[in-house]
Amino acid sequence: MTTDRMQQVMPWLLGVAVVVFGGIIALVFIGRAYAPDHIHKAAGSGKVALVRWFVLVCPDVLDAPDARDDTPLHLAATKGDADMVDALLRAGADATAKQAKGRTAMDLAYDECRTRKGRQTKCNEIIELLKRHGARGGGAEDD
């Protein structure tokens, strides 16, 4: 490449680099600002990719309680969402976290199994995932 051509291309490449890296940095800052408020909504509505992104940019929200003292894992267990429970546990969610009432995700998963017979298979899958990550509660000690 000639010197003249490099002088023409370099500002363009620098501009592209600034836009790309600036965009990434902006996404991280936006994620850090919104993650604490929105990870619970994403976990409760099955948006696994969004939850993974929130955890990537702001890992401390993984076990953060919401206004009702539920962690994202509690919400996923209540909804019977095995994919979300798996994603949260793989990201490092605390399977033993308790609400203020002392209830764990395992307790909520057992409740889900008792009240929603049509989704029994997913409930059992969630219970097995939680057990593998050290969860207790909801009758798990009896098994």
Query: Tens-of-pLDDT digits for all 143 residues of the chain?
Result: 677 766 666 666 555 555 555 555 555 555 555 556 788 888 989 999 989 988 887 888 899 898 888 999 999 998 889 999 999 999 999 999 998 888 999 998 888 877 766 555 588 899 999 999 998 766 544 44
pLDDT of residue 75: 92
pLDDT of residue 140: 43
Homologous superfamily of the 3-142 domain (CATH): Ankyrin repeat-containing domain (1.25.40.20)
pTM for the full model? 0.72
pLDDT of residue 56: 84
Question: Is residue 70 within 8 Å of residue 97, measured between CB atoms?
Answer: no
pLDDT of residue 122: 81
pLDDT of residue 141: 45
**Range 82-86, long-range pairs (CB < 8 A, 24+ positions):** 82/122, 82/125, 82/126, 82/129, 83/46, 83/48, 84/43, 84/46, 84/48, 84/51, 85/109, 85/126, 85/129, 85/130, 86/129
